[in-house]
Amino acid sequence: MTTAGTAHETTTRPGPAAARQHSLREHNLELVARAVFEVPEPLSRAGVATATGLARATVSTLVDQLVAAGLVRELPAVTGGRAGRPAVPLVPAPRTVVGLGLEVNVDYLGARVLDLTGDVVAERVVPGSFHDSDPTAVLARLGALARELSDEVTASGMTVAGARLALPGLVDPRAGTLQVAPNLGWSSIEPVPLLGLDLDVQVANEAKLAALAELAGGSDVAAPDSFVFVSGDVGIGAAIVVDRRLFLGERGWNGEIGHVVVDPAGPRCSCGAFGCLEQYAGKEAMMRAAGLPADAPLADLVARLRADDADLPAGRALGSALADFVNLIDIGTIVLGGAYTELLPWLRADVEAALTERVLAAPFVDLQVRAAQAGPHAALTGGAREVLARVLADPSAWV
Amino acid sequence: MTTAGTAHETTTRPGPAAARQHSLREHNLELVARAVFEVPEPLSRAGVATATGLARATVSTLVDQLVAAGLVRELPAVTGGRAGRPAVPLVPAPRTVVGLGLEVNVDYLGARVLDLTGDVVAERVVPGSFHDSDPTAVLARLGALARELSDEVTASGMTVAGARLALPGLVDPRAGTLQVAPNLGWSSIEPVPLLGLDLDVQVANEAKLAALAELAGGSDVAAPDSFVFVSGDVGIGAAIVVDRRLFLGERGWNGEIGHVVVDPAGPRCSCGAFGCLEQYAGKEAMMRAAGLPADAPLADLVARLRADDADLPAGRALGSALADFVNLIDIGTIVLGGAYTELLPWLRADVEAALTERVLAAPFVDLQVRAAQAGPHAALTGGAREVLARVLADPSAWV
């Protein structure tokens, strides 16, 4: 069973002041919801009481409210407990309250709806080319796409709790602003009103949301507690996860590995500097190095690599920048997402060689380079999950 | 008044389990000691009671114990309170319990004794050249130096509470091991027994201890809450401070900015890789670029720079590596320590230009480059302070 997860894009834990803002009932409701969503095996009401330490009668009332609100679903009763009384397993409710993940990236627009079980209920990904694009036109187009999806799931009786808009650049979620997204050619805009959606929408960095999707775990491999997540598309972003929380630096404007120096004598980057990693290991640079058009689909590059008909020099550059990253922050597990997931077989040897050569701690640490598990366009999943995590953090709003 | 500080080289906060290990009296003793050491203005017993929320009678007993143990000193009583009763200001005791900071660096050995007021009671710094040196001989020499100092202060009636040994490399404080210090040519050793001291000694990374000294504050400028500290000597290390705590990554082996790639076509480094920052901005590289012998004193370089008779190309390389650092972790204040403190006037323009050119967030952040305030050989101060912070965290051992 997957759950909507509880990792928020913040390092702040709710403190006593936050607790005081909630009434006791609201607090208990959250405890009960967390127990149902976070314990891997479905709990009965009695199990929730044990897990939360709340009285059984209290739990029963709160569970009834969560069921009525459409957040929790009761499975058919099973017998076999010691008391002989049939227990009703409680699970996250499918297709009731849903979250909407949105994304503008350099070569696609995307929208994805997830329900509380973690299932993708609906999605659209539209390829395109959004270099130096007009934010008003692009965001209006994404807004239309989002409305289409939202209307579709609403017509099926679901409620869209809100949306996250992933952008490949520096964002300020509190101010709702995008500072700069070099590859889009966007700077200093307020993207949310341009979507024209009648929903609570917040902006977030693409790599951070993708890392949260990764943290929630793939189908078969559990995510490590600490890792560097690198999202390789036309631009290259990263996120730092320490003990299952995002490390955000002072403003969340960290992880800009795409602009780490690979060679000061290298080509000029969209950011204005020279020799940035993106100029060697960004998707378009990889295509060009393989003799393909910059906007060719990733499958074309993979086909050429499979046929041993192309070179992927990106691995050396990526390895150099990752070695810098590991030397500076000492996180030993690197998860490669975006286009890198599929390209890993052809990147791995060069990346590992660079890490071995350049990371001072390499002889003493089991440095690991892994493929991301969260699937394509993971920021859409991470965004939808973030919306649902907020629902679970305050279920009383839905009761 | 300076205090011995409370920043430990760990990100772990003492949790409920840690609290339970202490008896209530031990816990209260710590509270009282913290109040005396951390509140900037000297408190009376009544002031301590207010600050801690403990009963006045309890505070009085505990203060008496701290005074008897030599941790706290009573100043002459002052009258003038509303009650008219004379209040006895309480301050950290000078020259009673002291901490010993030790350091092996590539071009010096050092030992420094600090008392609880933060004063340097005694110190020795011996220049030398310890490239590819024999750890047994070097640590025996430092041990002799330390014993000299320790005997001296013990003869004056002080008690050495313990020592920290700062090393320019990767250390595991729990195992007491040095994994590697490339410039010393040391690897996989247990340094503490080689000192031959009859003291509790722990190993630590040089840049981390220097950052803790910086965090404790200089004479005139308060340290920022979050900063990157860069210690520039023959090797170049760094520490990341976030909200007044060290960010240590997974093992504390972070901040290895000396091995960040500046130019892949650059010279071979002591670590084995090519084009590392140390080859451009390490002390010996700076000396050579100025036409001086690699082991010339820093004052010679400064004299040449003052006379406009030398170049300092290190600034561009340092700026490039710092831009990578800021792009990856989003900390906007950079504090330059070690040799860089004195060289900052000649480094600043190049460093700031590189940050402006390469940091994606530069247009939106007030990036600051500052000189360290903690003085020369700051790791000695940081190490001694760490020892005293442990005393204050468990004063009951001294009562």
> Residue A88 belongs to a domain with what CATH number?
1.10.10.10
Residues of B in contact with A329 (CB under 8 A): 240, 247, 249, 254, 328-329
Cβ atoms of residues B358 and B327 within 8 Å: yes
Q: Provide the CB-side half-sphere exposure for A214 (13 A, CA).
A: 36
Q: Do residues A326 and A320 touch, judged by C-beta distance below 8 A?
A: no
* A interface test, pick of B261, B269, B271 with most A CB neighbours within 10 Å: B261
* Residues B205 and B246 reside in one and the same domain: no
Residues of chain A with pLDDT under 70: 1-22, 80-84, 218-221
Q: Are residues A187 and A72 in the same domain?
A: no
**pLDDT on residue A217:** 77
Cα–Cα distance, B292 to A209 (Å, whole number): 51
Residue at A58 is within a domain: yes
Q: Per-residue DSSP letters for A281-315? A: HSHHHHHHHTTS-TT--HHHHHHHHHTT----THH
Q: Do B327 and A363 touch (CB under 8 A)?
A: no
A356 shares a domain with A233: yes
Last residue of a domain, one of B66, B92, B118: B92
One domain for residues A178 and A203: yes
Say if B10 falls within a structural domain: no
pLDDT digit string, tens, across residues B267-308: 999 999 999 999 999 999 999 999 999 999 999 999 999 999
B120 shares a domain with B63: no
Q: What is the average pLDDT score of chain A?
A: 92
What CA–CA distance (Å, rounded) separates B335 from B166? 19
CB neighbours (10 Å) of residue A349?
12
Of B203, B211, B208, whose CA–CA distance to B172 is shortest?
A: B203
Does residue A387 sit in the same domain as residue A262? Answer: no
Supply the pLDDT for residue B109.
98
Phi-psi region of A275 (alpha: psi -120 to 50; beta: other; left: phi over 0): left
Total count of domains within chain A: 3
**The domain boundary residue, chosen from A74, A92, A110:** A92
Distance CA B80, CA B91 (A): 19
CB contact under 8 A, A364 and B260: no
Residues B193, B159 share a domain: yes
Q: What is the pLDDT of residue B40?
A: 86
What Rg do the C-alpha atoms of chain A give, in angstroms?
A: 22
Contact at CB, B259 and A179, closer than 8 angstroms? no
Q: Containing domain of residue B36, as a range?
A: 16-92
Residues of chain B with pLDDT under 70: 1-22, 80-84, 218-221
Question: B217 lies in a domain?
Answer: no
Domain contains B218 = no
Q: Which of A57, A92, A127 is the last residue of a domain?
A: A92
For residue B332, the domain's CATH number is 3.30.420.40
Residue A54 belongs to a domain: yes
CB contact at 8 A, A163 and A197: yes
Position A222 scores a pLDDT of 79
Identify the closest residue of chain A to B177 by CA–CA distance: A364
| Contact present, B148 and B85 (Cβ < 8 Å) | no
pLDDT of residue A317: 98
Q: Is residue A79 part of a domain?
A: yes
Query: For position A220, what pLDDT does the model report?
Result: 61
DSSP code of A118? S
| Structural Rg of chain B based on CA atoms | 22
Identity (one letter) of the amino acid at A162?
G
Q: In Å, how far are A23, A224, A392, B174 from A26, measured between CA atoms?
A: 5, 32, 11, 43
- Are B228 and B344 within one domain? yes
pLDDT in tens, A168-208: 999 999 999 999 999 999 999 999 999 999 999 999 999 99
- In this prediction, the answer to ipTM > 0.90 reads yes
Same domain, A237 and A355: yes
pLDDT at res. A77:
92
Same domain assignment for residues B153 and B23: no
Percentage of chain A exceeding pLDDT 70:
92
Neighbour tally for A230: CB within 10 Å: 29
CB contact under 8 A, A249 and B364: no
Q: By C-alpha distance, which of A340, A102, A327 is closest to A231?
A: A340
**Is B200 within a domain?**
yes
Task: Report the residue of chain A nearest B242, measured CA to CA.
Answer: A249
Written as one string, the DSSP assignment of B47-104 is HHHHHH---HHHHHHHHHHHHHTTSEEEPPPB--STT-PPB--EEEPTTSEEEEEEEE
pLDDT (0 to 100) of residue A265: 96
CA A212 to chain CA mean position, Å: 4
Closest-CA distance, A251 to chain B, in angstroms, reads 7
Phi/psi for B330 (5° steps) reads 55, 55
Q: Are residues B284 and B308 in the same domain?
A: yes
Cα–Cα distance, B383 to B165 (Å, whole number): 7
Q: Which of A182, A263, A328 is the closest to B329 by Cβ?
A: A328
- Would A11 be classed as within a structural domain? no
Strand partners for B230: B238, B336
On whether both B144 and B161 belong to a single domain, the answer is yes
